[in-house]
Amino acid sequence: VRISNALQQALINDELELYFQPQQQVNDNQPLGVEALLRWHPPGKKPIPPGHFIPIAEETSLICDIGDWVLQQACSRIQRWQSEGHQPGRVSVNISARHFHSANFVSRLALLLQQYPACQHRLTLEVTEGVILDNLQESRTRMAQIKALGVNLSIDDFGTGYSSFAYLRELPVDELKLDRSFIQHIDKRPQDRAIIACLLDLARTLEMSVVAEGVETEPQLATLAELHCPAYQGYLRARPMPEAELLRWLVE
Ligand code: G
Ligand code: G
Ligand code: MN
Ligand code: NA
């Protein structure tokens, strides 16, 4: 309860900040986009990573307020970067289940796109399989409405949740993010390599793009190149960073 009150105050007092982690092409390292990742800076204390407070926010509707703030921030950045001539590519935002399924989620998103028209075709929502399978019927409707706004959809942590991929057939998914746990040992474990090869094949057949997550070493990246994985993100090239650092990183 205390942390959730503090978090509510943090939102009011402007203690939250979006960091951005670049995503790049595997073959030539060309930047493709960024993932927005939340940070909490309580005054006089060390920054708190999202793993520590997002699960608490998700217990109540606080996650909807935080999620709306994150979306608004991401959209205003996209609009400003566009007008200032920066080229970060697409911006991906993580969306929690409770937020995704909240009343008026799509109409609030539509309002944001009206307010920040540059976001059309530049914003991607990342949801996990759990978010979708929470309520498949409603997810199908929402995802179609979101696509109609010109917003892309990505499945985060793909491969960790459920063994059935049947739901992919009927949903307008643009991208799969391959979970870090498969990438970690990809250069050493033939089993993990086989799983990634298989998921890449699946994505190609379904005409979805792929981002490999958590790439930390050159051998991991080389294996992804051998497997023709199109895109990656990870500490090897770039950690999540504040906006100013990102804009410098992009022109380096
Ligand atoms: O940075 P860290 O590894 O602590 O992130 C932990 C989790 O927090 C990740 O699963 C990430 O998707 C999630 N996360 C980061 N930023 C956001 C956000 O803005 N909204 C939501 N819902 N989750 C986020
Ligand atoms: O669940 P999601 O994929 O949204 O989580 C993203 C989280 O993964 C972020 O907190 C980000 O800081 C973290 N992350 C990004 N790249 C790497 C990496 O190369 N290694 C590790 N261990 N974590 C990473
Ligand atoms: Mn993510
Ligand atoms: Na992920």
Q: State the amino acid at position 230 in one-letter form.
A: P
Residue nearest to atom 12 of ligand 2 (CA): 240
Index of the ligand 1 atom closest to the CA of residue 49: 4
Which positions ≥6 away from 43 have C-beta within 8 Å? 13, 15
Q: Is the CB of 49 under 6 A from ligand 1?
A: yes
Q: Is the CB of 154 under 6 A from ligand 1?
A: no
Q: How far is the CA of 131 from the centre of ligand 1 (A)?
A: 14
Index of the ligand 2 atom closest to the CA of residue 213: 16
Q: How many C-alpha atoms does 43 have within 13 Å on its Cβ side? A: 6
Count of structural domains within the chain: 1
Residue 84: its pLDDT value, please? 97
Which positions ≥6 away from 178 have C-beta within 8 Å? 158, 159, 196, 199, 210, 211, 212, 213, 229
CA angle 143, 155, 160 (to 5 degrees): 135
Residue 228: its pLDDT value, please? 98
Task: For residue 157, give the ligand nearest its CA.
Answer: 4
**8 Å CB contact between 74 and 18:** yes
Residue nearest to atom 15 of ligand 1 (CA): 37
By CB atoms closer than 10 A (0-12, 13-18, 19+), residue 83 is exposed
Which of 91, 180, 183, 237, when mutated, tests ligand 2's pocket best, judged by the most ligand atoms within 8 Å of its CB? Answer: 180
Pair of tokens at residue 127: 């949801």
Tens digits of per-residue pLDDT, 147-182?
999 999 999 999 887 657 888 888 999 999 999 999
Residue nearest to atom 10 of ligand 1 (CA): 51
Give the pocket of ligand 2 (CB within 6 Å): 21, 37, 94, 156-157, 180, 213-216, 233-235, 240
Residue 197: its pLDDT value, please? 97
Place of tokens 């978010």: 131
Angle in degrees, 0-180, between the axes of helices 62-84 and 50-57, rounded to the nearest 10: 130
Q: Report, as ranges of residue numbers, the positions in the chain whose pLDDT lies below 70.
A: 1, 162-163
Domain carrying residue 230: 2-251
Q: State the amino acid at position 126 in one-letter form.
A: E
- What CATH number should be reported for the domain holding residue 81? 3.20.20.450
Residue nearest to atom 3 of ligand 1 (CA): 51
Angle in degrees, 0-180, between the axes of helices 136-148 and 105-115, rounded to the nearest 10: 10
Residue 162: its pLDDT value, please? 67
Residue 134: its pLDDT value, please? 84
Which positions ≥6 away from 183 have C-beta within 8 Å? 192, 196, 212, 213, 214, 215, 220, 224, 234
Q: How far is the CA of 39 from the centre of ligand 4 (A)?
A: 16
Task: For residue 50, give the ligand nearest its CA.
Answer: 1
Task: For residue 179, give the ligand nearest its CA.
Answer: 4
Residue nearest to atom 23 of ligand 2 (CA): 214
